[in-house]
Structure 1
Amino acid sequence: MASIEMKNIVKKYGDGYPAVNDVSMDIADGEFMILVGPSGCGKSTLLRMIVGLEDISSGDMVIGGSRVNDKAPRDRNLSMVFQNYALYPHLSVFENIAFPLRLAKAPEDEVTRKVEAAAQVLELNEHLQRKPANLSGGQRQRVAMGRAIVRDADAFLFDEPLSNLDAKLRGQMRTEIARLQRRLGITTVYVTHDQTEAMTLGDRVCVLRKGVIQQVASPRELYEQPVNLFVAGFIGSPPMNFLPATVKGSSLETPFGTIELDAARAEKVAGRDLVLVGIRPEYFEDASLVDDAKKHVGSTFTAKVDVTEWLGDSQFAYIPYDAPAEVETKLKELSAELDADQLRTQAIVSIDSTSRIREGREAEFWLDARKIHVFDPESGENLTRDPEAGAELTRIAAEDRAEQVAQARGDA
């Protein structure tokens, strides 16, 4: 196992465009780090520079205390699991897992011992003599992971390993990868464009945008204290709502009425005119289901519902609103960068599944004003971010993770 340090890493191609631009980050020994972002953000390029499949234009890559810029991939002792599994169709599961040991000319008893131990961990014992063509997608993924395990590598590198699986199997494999990584305690770098994978798997998540790090933090800090509009829009499903608002003293005038700010938030937005208010869907509720004691800490408004989606355990309501032209332009630009559908001038509201709110009718909603974020529409900066609260969330997550790893190793 080893730590990975990146110091001012840059990758430029022939046209001079920096696919990765001045990335500096420390990944601790045993940490599960996620690299996430939309297509073209540089996450896979960065992973390939760690393993040695891409040259580094400038900067230093340090693994286990040694600079590896000039080392070939085979000399870095890293195991990479690819999107397409890269299995040999003519070899059995046993021989696919054993392949790196065969290359290293390991003794036969060592090959057998390590392959059988990996198969036990991955529940592949009954499939060792089968060929990849006779396996399910999830089983093939586990074979690829087994090949990584037997190498006794310093780190695992995953390049969108679940993107070829269906939704149900992706959920199962996420759980297996998380359990395996905790048990082995091996440093892991995992690339994905799926923010659900990022939020459920990582100790910390690095959000990339056009080759530049936006924020590195625990999933909960990213969600509750995003540093800017881009991170706030990328993390979360459904995404955060962005409403135009004008600042008037200690309040914000939005398409859904007035939102009163606490003293700390009011001070941070003082002197500004047009801002964007960030509100997570779950910060709304059906006002008829909110008790009176809770209503005084939020805002209540009436709006016409366009569409509702009932999902059994939850329900979403879509509420359109009017926005200034500059806000619509900003939302279009942001949705293009997020590689997502256009962020429409509508709010997505999460309401209780028992709510009787119906589409095409006006309804009363309650908004928890204590949890909103306010962004500068030009720079995208989160004006109301609390860095200390965010750092505390990441610290607590690190402590919880250390306990989980210790318990997993004790149970193994």
Structure 2
Amino acid sequence: MASITLNSIVKKYDDGFPAVNNVSLDIADGEFVILVGPSGCGKSTLLRMIVGLEDITSGELLIDGQRMNEAAPKDRNLAMVFQNYALYPHLTVYENIAFPLRLAKEKNGNGQSNGNGEGSVDDRVQKAAAMLELTEHLDRKPANLSGGQRQRVAMGRAIVREADAFLFDEPLSNLDAKLRGQMRSEIARLQRRLGITSVYVTHDQTEAMTLGDRVAVLKKGLLQQVASPRELYEQPVNLFVAGFIGSPSMNFLPATLKEGSQGAGGTGGAGGAILSSPIGDIPISAEKAAVAQGRELVMIGLRPEYFEDASLVDEAKMARGSVFTAELSHLEWLGHEQYGYIEFEPDERVGRLLSDLASEMDADELRPQVVTTLSAESRVRPGEPAELWVDASRIHIFDPETGENLTRDPEAGAELTRIAAQEREHEIELAAASARSPQNTQNTQDSRSV
């Protein structure tokens, strides 16, 4: 295992375009870090520079404290798992896993290239196969395996190398939704069990939020924020991170501050204030009003789960927000919850801001609408006025020009990341205890068929 340090890394191509621009990142020994962002943000380029497949224009790459800028890929002792598996179709599962050992002419204690002793090629292949539940498939060819099984073979090939770190380049992109979910669990379990430093590239925020100890969000080669998934979600540093993390995305609405009015329901309180928005007036605390003071326009951010059918909100919770009346354009019922959509007409300036944000996130055009997550018990209907409640205490306020989150609490965010680190340590301890237990039956028959 090893730590990985990136100091002011820059990658410029011949035309001068900076694919990666001044990225600094410290990855601790045993940490699982996710690089996420839209297409063209530089995440795969950054990963390829770590492994040595791309030259570094400027900056410094350290692996376990040793400068590796000029080192060949084979000298970095890193194992990479590719999106397309990169398996040899004419070789069996066994030989695919054993390939890097054969290539390196791995020798056991007797100085022979093969055998059955501790540390031999066969021993390491069998252990990796057992760990990944591939033992019964060792004599099969890749063409006869499922997508999930092929990806586990690729992971087995990385494991037997006993590398200092694993690098994953969108490894689940070729799998269907169900297999992706199962393989996410497999990768998380394996990383915790091995305790190996891992860097994982994805454009899928679900993978980023469920796998990573920390997530690094990139945009156009620039590092936007590095934090635990919970901190990214609850304390985003800017409009881009807030909009990119979360599904459905955070709602962005233009708003103006009405000074000197009381917050309805006590959220603003005496001396509090009201934000006027397309969905109505929203009371805010004096602290949040202060950051909007003197600004002609702000953008407010409201996640879909901040909303609810007002008739289903209890009195204790009701005091944290306000009720407004809106007409839903349509509903999407998902069984355990439903999404309600409220459309609004933005002015030209706001429409341009939404269009620019959608372009940065490599997303479809952000429609001028609000997505609300409502209880499955709600009986609101599209096309009819509905009373909805919004939790104003959780509102984010952004500068529409710079994108900065004006209401971000760095201390609260740091505490979320600290708690996440403690939970990670606990998970590693549990994984280690499970691996030592002879009664370990964690892996199920269902996962063997993935």
**Shorter-chain TM band:** over 0.9
2:330 is the alignment partner of 1:311: no
Report SS of the residue matched to 2:247. coil
Task: Report the AA paired with residue 138 of structure 1.
Answer: G
TM superposition shift of 1:323:
1.5
Cα deviations by residue, 1:6-49 (Å, 9 ceiling, x for unpaired): 00000000110100000001000000000000000000000000
* Deviation digits for residues 58-98 of structure 1 (CA, Å, limit 9, x no counterpart): 00000011000000000000000000000000000000000
Q: Which amino acid aligns with 1:114?
A: R
The correspondence for 1:156, drawn from 158, 166, 178, is 166
Q: Is residue 380 from structure 1 mapped to residue 390 from structure 2 by the alignment?
A: no
Aligned mate of 1:147, from 129, 134, 157 = 157
Q: Distance in 2 between matches of 1:131 and 1:8?
A: 44
CA shift digits 1:75-123 (9 cap, x unpaired):
0000000000000000000000000000111231310000000000000
- For residues 41 and 278 of structure 1, what CA distance do their matches in structure 2 show? 23
Give the secondary structure class of the aligned counterpart of 2:102. helix
Take 1:359 and 1:365, find their aligned partners in 2: how far apart are those partners? 13
1:248 aligns to what? 258
Q: How far has the Cα of 1:358 moved from its partner?
A: 1.2
One-letter identity of the residue aligned with 2:66: S
Q: What is the alpha-carbon distance in structure 1 between the residues aligned to residue 398 and residue 15 of structure 2?
A: 34
User: Which of 186, 209, 227 lines up with 1:217 in the alignment?
Assistant: 227
The TM-score with structure 1 as length reference comes to 0.99
> Is this contact kept in 2: 1:215–1:231, CA < 8 A?
yes
2:370 alignment partner, SS class = strand
Q: What is the rounded CA distance, in whole Å, between the counterparts of 2:179 and 2:430 in structure 1?
A: 26
Q: Does 1:180 align with 2:190?
A: yes
Q: Give secondary structure in 2 for the equivalent of 1:331.
A: helix
> Could you tell me which residue of structure 1 aligns to residue 347 of structure 2?
324
Could you list the per-position Cα deviations for residues 390-412 of structure 1 after superposition, in whole angstroms to 9, with x for gaps in the alignment?
Answer: 01000000011011111101210
Residue 196 of structure 1 corresponds to 206
**Counterparts of 2:339 and 2:379, CA distance in 1:** 12
Aligned partner of 1:235 in structure 2 is 245
User: Does 2:386 align with 1:363?
Assistant: yes
SS of the residue aligned with 1:79? strand
Q: Which runs of 4+ in 1 moved over 4 A?
A: none
Q: Distance in 1 between matches of 2:72 and 2:315?
A: 66
* SS state at 1:206 partner: strand
Question: How many pairs align?
Answer: 412
Q: What corresponds to 1:97 in structure 2?
A: 97
Distance 1:209 1:321 in 2: 28
Residue of structure 1 equivalent to 2:48: 48
* Cα displacement (A) at 1:359: 1.1
Alpha-carbon distance in structure 2 between the residues aligned to 1:373 and 1:403: 32
AA in 1 matched with 2:182: Q
Pairwise CA distance, 1:277: 0.6
User: Quick check: 1:108 aligned with 2:131?
Assistant: no
Q: CA deviation at 1:279?
A: 0.2
Residue among 293, 296, 302 paired with 1:270: 293
Report the AA paired with residue 383 of structure 2: G
1:9 corresponds in structure 2 to 9
- Given residue 56 of structure 2, which amino acid in structure 1 is its aligned partner? I
Return 5+ residue gaps in structure 2 as ranges. 107-112, 260-272, 436-450
Q: Distance in 1 between matches of 2:216 and 2:379?
A: 40
Q: Could you tell me how far apart the structure 1 residues matched to 2:181 and 2:296 are?
A: 44
Highest Rg: 1 or 2? 2
1:165 corresponds to 2:175: yes
Output the CA distance in 1 between the equivalents of 2:292 and 2:27.
Answer: 35
The alignment status of 1:294 with 2:320, answered yes or no, reads no
Partner residue of 1:69?
A: 69
1: distance between equivalents of 2:274 and 2:290?
11
> What one-letter code is carried by the residue in structure 2 that aligns with 1:61?
L
Q: CA deviation at 1:293?
A: 2.9
SS of 1:141 mapped into structure 2:
helix
| Aligned match of 1:393 | 416
Checking the alignment, whether the CA contact within 8 Å between 1:244 and 1:324 is kept in structure 2 is: no
Deviation at 1:340, TM superposition (A): 0.9
- For the 8 Å contact 1:41–1:211, the answer to whether it is kept is yes
The AA in structure 1 aligned to 2:346 is A
RMSD over equivalenced CA pairs, Å: 0.7
**Partner-residue secondary structure (3-state), 2:69:** coil
With normalisation by structure 2, the TM-score equals 0.91
Distance 1:103 1:256 in 2: 64
Which 10-residue stretch deviates more, 256-265 or 7-16? 256-265
* Separation in 2, partners of 1:127, 1:344: 49
Alignment of 1:404 onto 2:410: no
Moved more, 34-43 or 239-248: 239-248
Give the stretch that moved more between structures: 35-44 or 285-294: 285-294
Name structure 1 gaps, 5 residues minimum.
none
Paired residue type of 2:418: R
CA distance in 1, matches of 2:366, 2:33: 28
Distance 2:99 2:208 in 1: 30
Instruction: State the distance in 1 between where 2:103 and 2:379 align.
Output: 64
